[in-house]
Chains A and B, each alone.
Chain A
Amino acid sequence: SQQGEEDPQALSIQEGENATMNCSYKTSINNLQWYRQNSGRGLVHLILIRSNEREKHSGRLRVTLDTSKKSSSLLITASRAADTASYFCATTTSGTYKYIFGTGTRLKVLA
């Protein structure tokens, strides 16, 4: 299966703490994206990191990419209750049009 994998599957933290979730994938990629899905909603794009980049920041989000290990991590700093959602990574490969999504991490931030 080409499905990426994320860990942990579920994460529960206190408001104000940092949350880290990881994504591993199987093939060489063009870029990797992180999406958030609130319960009962569609996915919302958070950040994109290209295969030649190692780290990217956007507000409280920090994404790293290690192509040698075929893995990425998403760090959310100073988490808020509103960050409670499922987080998915998605990869694209040169020459194909497909986005391969990971299995998702369910994050719960307790107020």
Chain B
Amino acid sequence: DTAVSQTPKYLVTQMGNDKSIKCEQNLGHDTMYWYKQDSKKFLKIMFSYNNKELIINETVPNRFSPKSPDKAHLNLHINSLELGDSAVYFCASSQGTSGLTQFFGPGTRLTVL
């Protein structure tokens, strides 16, 4: 009964490939997020959805496309992967958008060769 789950946990792929990371939360939250954590541990927001509607879209290359089929899922698709995309990607969820507690998934470590 994991609260926020991500798959896969590890992803190793070649430059130029397209890959997806999936996220699911069973907390009944209405807001979900994608973060990127680089090698220096900087954690940066990428996207956020509230009730399946995109509310945050940071300066992220358009090779990254989030998709929220329902409130419990937020997937991240990445086209034409580049070396600089290597990082750990975290999904998170919260109830509402007013800056309350976020619950994080375990992360997906993406390595682009």
Contacts and interface: CB of A to CB of B under 8 A. Distances in A.
A99 to B, nearest CB: 6
A86 interface: yes
B42 A103 contact: yes
B107 interface: yes
Contact of B90 (A42, A48, A86, A93): A42
Interface string A27-51: 0001101010100111111001000
Contacts, number: 57
Q: For chain A, what secondary structure do more than half of its interface residues adopt (helix, strand, loop), or is it mixed?
A: strand
B4 interface: yes
A98 B105 contact: no
B99 A44 contact: no
Given A42-B104, A92-B99, 5 more contacts: A42-B4, A42-B90, A42-B107, A97-B50, A97-B55
Interface in B94-109: 97-107
